[in-house]
Structure 1
Amino acid sequence: MSELEEISQHVHDRISSVKLLLDLSLSDLPHSKMKKLGQEIFAVERLLEEFERCVERQREQLRSLKELEESFQKDLEDVTHMKDNIPAHMPKREGPAQVREPGMKQSQAADVQPPQQEQQVKKSSRSFIREMDFITAPEFDSIPQYMKGRVSYDQLNAAVQNINTAVTAKYKIFHQSVKTLSNPSRKLQQRFKEQETKDTKGQFFVVEEDIRDFTQMKVDKRFQGILNMLRHCQRLKELRGGGVTRYLLL
């Protein structure tokens, strides 16, 4: 039972008691009974005052609950909007930069590495495969309309994902030991190495043939338009030579 209900019941009981005394007052009552009647009436007055205060507290609580409900409703609308409009592709946070001692050149830092650490660095550098960062909404808005054509934001980032898939598949084969490769993969690795130049050493790049081999994306006029947009957003650059166009990740 709530506080308001308890007070209401108490008031009802007191009023019933007063009514009974009033009924009895029709006959001659002794002084003690009249005094009792006055006490009951006074008690009812105090209960009514407490009842009014309780009602006011309940009203205040009701106002607070309504404000809380409105706040929750607004938060729910905000969360629903975020859920309905979350990008399909989120930009990745860059990892912390490697720190070396002040005044020490990179070559000097490499010289003082213990042998075990040097082996780990070489191994991690071989297993690391760079991926292209997804295009952010402000970057997409900065692309001229004539360059975007009918390509949407999601379609552009889907192309980024396909290029990353091709890069990952290519360099997993590229870094793998020849002994562990099948004959088709050995031929691919040989092709990858033949396409390397002094300008691509230590870089990650793909060619159109890699896109065809490792993704379902069509290499057509629309694909060339997507590459133009990615160059505009400084995600890649072209290197031509030997009859091959290389798309280097930046």
Structure 2
Amino acid sequence: MVKDMASSSLEDLCLHINMKISNIKMLIVLRDIGEDDSRKTVLTKMQNEVILIHDLLMKMESQVKQQEKLKYSLKEMQKVAERDEKEAQHLLGQIPCYLPEPPKSCNMVPTVKHKGQTKAVETICKKKPAKEIKNIKEAALITTEEFQSVPVYMKGRITHDQINAFVQEINKAVVGKYKILYQPLKSMSAPDKNLYHRFIEEETKDTKGEFFIVEDDIKQFTRLKLDKRFHMILCILRHCHRVREIRCSGLTRYVIC
């Protein structure tokens, strides 16, 4: 068995030496061909073609590298797009249900048939006579970021939705009060006139130009209970700069910020 291994190694060595001799002979032949004047033109053309092929290979390598960079950039963009999509889906799912719907300013008139002919449906926008419109200031809803910034001891077990539901009730009281204040006295009912005179009596020099309500307004226009929870949420709204208090003559006025 040792003899067989030695024989195999010797054959491999001989084969390797023979290949080297063959390569040397090929190089000698090629050298002799290169010295042949009749074949120099062909060799020169071959050399030029090899140079061109080399240049093309270099350009291809450069293009491949650029494509790899582009591929990497696209992958990064895809990751960013996927992350933005997830964030958008999350935000879409967090839209509060209490946001007001956009106002509808146009009515659709149905198709009208006249003498066998059908008129096209037309969109007629409501046109109201020009008059002075007095805006009523309302408190903005509390954002998620603002809610998270409220100290824990101040929030207790009160949730974000409960606070914004409270804000909406406060706004009902503000709107209810100032709608009466903005009405002409002649068009008011007797109960509204009594409320109107109370509203006027509650105003002071500090409330001039401000929108405010008092506890009687909250009782009048909302179903809120003036309990401990009521004052806790008011404290949160003061912290978030939605309302501020003006105390005068034993009456607390809640001013909309």
- Is the 2:245–2:252 Cα contact (8 Å) retained in structure 1? no
What's the CA shift string for 1:19-63, capped at 9, x where partnerless?
A: xxxxxxxxxxxx79x956873674366235404422431332231
Mapped to 2, the partners of 1:225 and 1:72 lie a distance apart of: 46
Between stretches 147-156 and 196-205, larger displacement belongs to 196-205
Distance 1:156 1:63, change over 3 A: same
**Could you say which structure has the greater relative contact order, defined with CA pairs below 8 angstroms and 6 or more residues apart?**
1
1:74 aligns with 80
1:237 aligns with 245
Between stretches 146-155 and 69-78, larger displacement belongs to 69-78
1:150 aligns with 157
Letter in 2 for 1:230: L
Secondary structure of the corresponding residue to residue 56 of structure 2: helix
Gap runs ≥5 in structure 2: 1-37, 97-130
Between stretches 183-192 and 46-55, larger displacement belongs to 183-192
Distance 1:228 1:79, change over 3 A: same
The alpha-carbon deviation at position 167 of structure 1 amounts to: 1.3
Mapped to 1, the partners of 2:69 and 2:221 lie a distance apart of: 62
Distance 1:196 1:176, change over 3 A: same
Pairwise mapping of residues 55-74 of structure 1 onto structure 2 (< 5 A)? 55-74=61-80
Distance 1:231 1:177, change over 3 A: same
Distance 1:189 1:72, change over 3 A: farther
- Is the 1:238–1:246 Cα contact (8 Å) retained in structure 2? yes
Mapped to 2, the partners of 1:88 and 1:215 lie a distance apart of: 25
- Is the 1:162–1:217 Cα contact (8 Å) retained in structure 2? yes
- Structure 2 residue 203 is matched with structure 1 residue 189: no
Distance 1:246 1:40, change over 3 A: same
1:176 aligns with 183
Pairwise mapping of residues 62-141 of structure 1 onto structure 2 (< 5 A)? 62-74=68-80, 76-78=82-84, 80-81=86-87, 84=90, 127-135=134-142, 140-141=147-148
CA RMSD across the alignment: 4.2
Mapped to 2, the partners of 1:55 and 1:232 lie a distance apart of: 64
Secondary structure of the corresponding residue to residue 199 of structure 2: helix
1:159 aligns with 166
Secondary structure of the corresponding residue to residue 232 of structure 2: helix
What's the CA shift string for 1:173-202, capped at 9, x where partnerless?
A: 212212344566445434433544555444
Secondary structure of the corresponding residue to residue 127 of structure 1: coil
Letter in 1 for 2:247: L
Gap runs ≥5 in structure 1: 1-30, 90-122
Distance 1:44 1:227, change over 3 A: same
- Is the 1:88–1:154 Cα contact (8 Å) retained in structure 2? no
1:221 aligns with 228
Mapped to 1, the partners of 2:82 and 2:216 lie a distance apart of: 48
- Is the 1:204–1:249 Cα contact (8 Å) retained in structure 2? yes
- Is the 2:138–2:171 Cα contact (8 Å) retained in structure 1? yes
- Is the 1:203–1:249 Cα contact (8 Å) retained in structure 2? yes
TM-score norm. by structure 2 comes to: 0.51
- Is the 2:246–2:253 Cα contact (8 Å) retained in structure 1? yes
Mapped to 2, the partners of 1:79 and 1:155 lie a distance apart of: 29
The alpha-carbon deviation at position 151 of structure 1 amounts to: 1.6
- Structure 2 residue 56 is matched with structure 1 residue 50: yes
TM-score norm. by structure 1 comes to: 0.53
Distance 1:202 1:49, change over 3 A: closer
Between stretches 186-195 and 148-157, larger displacement belongs to 186-195
